[in-house]
Chains A and B, each alone.
Chain A
Amino acid sequence: MNIDNTKSQMRKGMLEYCILLLIHRKPAYANEIIRQFHEADMIVVEGTLYPLLTRLKKDGLLDYQWQESTQGPPRKYYSLTADGEEALAQLNIIWNELNRTVQLLSEQEPIQPENI
Chain B
Amino acid sequence: MKKNITINLFGQLYAIDEDAYQMLECYLESMKSYFSRQEGGEEIADDIEHRVAELLWERREAGSEAVDLNTVKAIIKQIGNPSEIDDSESGQEYADSNAEGEDSLGETFKKGAYAAGKATKTAMGRVKTHISSRRFYRDENDKILGGVCSGLAQYFGGQDPLLWRVVVCALAICSLGITLLLYLLIWIVAPVARTPEEKLRMKGMEVNSTNLSEQIIEDNNEEKLPRRNEAGQIIRAILWVIMIILIGLIVVPLLLVAGSFLFCIIVAATIFSQLGSSITIDTYQHIPNTSPFLGTEHLWLIELLQQSSFSAWGFLISGLVATVIPIYAFIRLIRKNPDNNMSFGAKVALTLIWILALVFCIWCFGITTYNFQHL
Contacts and interface: CB of A to CB of B under 8 A. Distances in A.
A46 B79 contact: yes
A92 B82 CA distance: 31
Given A71-B57, A90-B105, A94-B109, A48 B115 contact: no
A96 interface: no
Contacts of B112: 9-10, 12-14
Interface string B98-136: 000000111011011101100100000000000000000
B11 interface: yes
B53 A73 contact: yes
Contact of B85 (A10, A14, A47, A76): A47
Interface stretch (B37-45, B274-282, B332-340, B358-366): B37-45
Interface of A: 2, 5-6, 9-10, 12-17, 30-31, 44-48, 50-55, 57-59, 71-76, 87, 90-91, 94, 98
B303 interface: no
B297 interface: no
Contacts of B295: none
Contacts of A58: 39-40
A57 B43 CA distance: 11
A74 B9 CA distance: 11
B298 interface: no
Interface in B62-99: 77-82, 84-88, 91
Interface string B197-232: 000000000000000000000000000000000000
B51 A30 contact: yes
Contacts of A53: 47
Given A10-B112, A17-B108, A73-B9, A48 B50 contact: no
Given A5-B119, A46-B78, A91-B105, A72 B54 contact: yes
* Max chain B Cβ within 10 angstroms of own Cβ: one of A2, A5, A10, A45: A45
A31 B52 CA distance: 11
B83 to A, nearest CB: 10
B293 interface: no
A2 B35 CA distance: 29
A72 B53 contact: yes
Contacts of A6: 116
A interface, over-half SS: helix
B54 A45 contact: no
Which are the 7 A-B pairs with shortest beta-carbon distances? A45-B80, A13-B112, A47-B85, A72-B57, A73-B10, A47-B80, A73-B53
Contacts of A5: 116, 119
Contact of B57 (A17, A51, A73): A73
20 contacts: A9-B116, A12-B111, A14-B112, A15-B108, A31-B54, A44-B84, A47-B48, A48-B80, A48-B84, A48-B87, A53-B47, A55-B40, A57-B40, A58-B40, A59-B104, A74-B10, A74-B50, A87-B105, A91-B108, A94-B105
Contacts of B29: none
Nearest to A46: B79
Nearest to A89: B105
Interface residues of B, number: 41
A10 B48 CA distance: 24
A5 B120 CA distance: 11
Interface in B22-62: 35, 39-40, 43-44, 47-48, 50-51, 53-54, 57-58, 61
A51 B10 contact: no
Given A2-B119, A13-B109, A51 B53 contact: no
B289 interface: no
A45 B27 CA distance: 15
A76 B44 CA distance: 12
Given A44-B80, A71-B57, 5 more contacts: A10-B112, A12-B112, A45-B84, A55-B88, A72-B57
Contacts of A91: 105, 108
Nearest to A93: B105
B58 to A, nearest CB: 7
Contacts of A15: 108
A71 B51 contact: no
A73 B50 contact: yes
A9 B87 CA distance: 11
Contacts of B108: 13-17, 91
B291 interface: no
A95 B294 CA distance: 99
A91 B104 CA distance: 11
B12 interface: yes
A76 B87 CA distance: 21
